[in-house]
Chains A and B, each alone.
Chain A
């Protein structure tokens, strides 16, 4: 179904291309701040580097927090060899199987590099079947001495996959860091547009290594209800166990609603609220496979006295790689669903809880 939700494609493209490994989210933050500035009265950046925006809507209602994380998985320089090669470590969940040979951008100047491993000719027969681990790879930026390499990056500097956002086939887009720049773009669109209710938007840091920015951001606001906007893994690649074990979510089948993942059990009333909003707006949605993955909602829902929380995601194939794929229609529909849920979210009531005198 063709939709026109007003999704900011140019912003998404810029965000996907921007470099922002966990703890080093500066360039992403800058793009978002520049985009948001004309649309908000005030915004602040907290001690963790998260952007916090209070969005004014038509009415006040429940305290709603919407979050998306700015950081992406990547690498950190650990050591520079005498030969000028870099040893790097993973930042966040990276899969060794897909690393060797990938192009990366290293250090503050984004120098091009490649993740090098032994050539097949040099491998022993028994090693050919083995997966090469990142610790056995080096990043080669073409430096031939340690001193040359040090001009490019120092230990502690980060490296990202090299990848440029592009259209992919008739209906998909391809790029890096869709997890979670797609959530950032959706959230930015919500802030930029008119809203029926007040909400707080938090663009968080350090999600990929344990939801660290989200914890601090949510503590500040004590939301009644919280939504993590995410890019989530699609599970629709062929497998002979697909029929037995299920193969979802799928690209093109709509935004994903999570009932349970490893970080959060979604409040059932909030889940039903999203289901109903989707139904009313005619938006097809799909289930997230229970038990897998985790999002900032894991921190949102237990901030202070607790907040009813859910994750709304765009399914992405090959997530945490330089070439994630997502369907344009899923992205548009996710923004529409988030928008459709705002009014009902504003009507969510927080149970009274015990009435305690200040001690």
Chain B
């Protein structure tokens, strides 16, 4: 699974430019699930049709990044954020365009402190002149952070762990679960980081009886951080609430029951941060409403280039999802 995670995290895919991730996901999931389709937004659906309850499992393919907003006379670029970019961590990082060109984000040494922080930052792609730059880079070009994946024991560090780790969890779940009484669709969504935009049409299209989103969540196990129970290595987290979604109690309780039954180490998640949420925030309000829960992979340093997860939690998440989709969800009242 670490191999799958490595290639997913290493693939270019800021919100709105998820094509490469979508192509990779399709390649990796197609042996497990026959019916793969795409919609107008670019969401990818891998469906295993069945007669039972219609289940949607969602993980988003996009990652945070940036978009070039201006190329100046000497070839330096300015940018706007894609998603919740943390400017304090963006400075001094390397970024990569789809073309492969690498640039460094730097802060103006003597910039006016009254300017907005983002207006003091620029990207140096190493061009020798404005015209040379403008031949290759343009307003609207999109970049992601350029950082490889490191695996040390159980702990894995990478950019884009949010939410490629969940893409890996969904693919692995699809591979392991061969028989299910339900009609299961693994939905790999677009544009989550800019406001859960892909999941809304995806949920409309699928019209599920019950849904789960799978995403990373923050943890409370590092020095001087926000108070939060979630810790790396303590198992997948079953969401109670976050800044945009309250898990449906029936879905949440079923997940807890399944985890207990197989003696799976797990933890409850309350993410107390305004606006911090997952695709579930969109899914649960589509059409007449969808009972929606969320399984989270605890992650340190979310929205930095060094998002850290524990592979035991990742493995636990696969087991929990596999148990969920093999449960007859009609009998559970969905």
Give me the interface of A with B, judged by CB distance under 8 Å: 224, 241, 243-246, 259-260, 265, 267-268, 287, 289-292, 301-308, 350-356, 359
Contacts and interface: CB of A to CB of B under 8 A. Distances in A.
Interface in B164-201: 185, 191, 194, 197-198, 200-201
Contacts of A355: 35, 37
B123 to A, nearest CB: 12
A73 B16 CA distance: 30
Interface residues of B, number: 41
A99 B82 CA distance: 33
Contact of B16 (A245, A265, A353): A265
B69 interface: yes
Interface in B5-20: 15-17
B37 A351 contact: yes
B69 A289 contact: yes
Interface stretch (B40-48, B297-305, B306-314): B40-48
B80 interface: yes
From DSSP, what is the main secondary structure of chain B's interface residues? Answer: mixed
B115 A241 contact: yes
Given A259-B67, A305-B201, A359-B207, A287 B140 contact: yes
B67 A260 contact: yes
A259 B15 CA distance: 12
Contacts, number: 104
A265 B119 contact: no
B194 A354 contact: no
Contacts of B17: 268
24 contacts: A224-B40, A241-B115, A243-B72, A244-B78, A245-B70, A245-B119, A260-B16, A290-B67, A301-B197, A302-B197, A302-B200, A302-B201, A303-B201, A304-B201, A304-B204, A305-B201, A306-B39, A307-B40, A350-B40, A351-B38, A353-B38, A354-B35, A354-B205, A356-B54
A354 B80 contact: no
Nearest to B43: A306
Given A303-B201, A350-B40, A353-B205, 20 more contacts: A241-B115, A244-B78, A245-B119, A246-B69, A267-B40, A287-B140, A291-B67, A291-B81, A292-B80, A302-B198, A305-B201, A306-B41, A306-B198, A306-B202, A308-B40, A353-B38, A354-B45, A354-B47, A356-B205, A359-B54
From DSSP, what is the main secondary structure of chain A's interface residues? Answer: loop
Contacts of A260: 16, 67, 80, 82, 140
Nearest to A222: B204
A290 B140 contact: yes
Nearest to A225: B40
Contacts of B40: 224, 267, 305-308, 350-351, 353
Given A301-B197, A302-B201, A290 B45 contact: no
B113 to A, nearest CB: 14
Nearest to A291: B80
B91 to A, nearest CB: 16
- Of A241, A290, A359, most buried by chain B (CB within 10 Å of CB) is A290
B68 interface: yes
A246 B205 contact: no
Interface of B: 15-17, 35, 37-41, 43, 45, 47, 54, 67-70, 72-73, 78, 80-82, 115, 119, 122, 139-140, 185, 191, 194, 197-198, 200-202, 204-207, 209
Contacts of B197: 265, 301-302
A13 to B, nearest CB: 34
A355 B17 CA distance: 25
Nearest to A292: B80
Contacts of A246: 69-70, 72, 78, 139
Contact of B39 (A243, A292, A353, A359): A353
Contact of B207 (A290, A307, A351, A356): A356
Contacts of B43: 306
A80 to B, nearest CB: 36
Nearest to B139: A287
Contact of B206 (A268, A301, A354): A354
- Of A243, A289, A353, A355, most buried by chain B (CB within 10 Å of CB) is A353
- Of B69, B82, B204, most buried by chain A (CB within 10 Å of CB) is B69
A351 B16 CA distance: 16
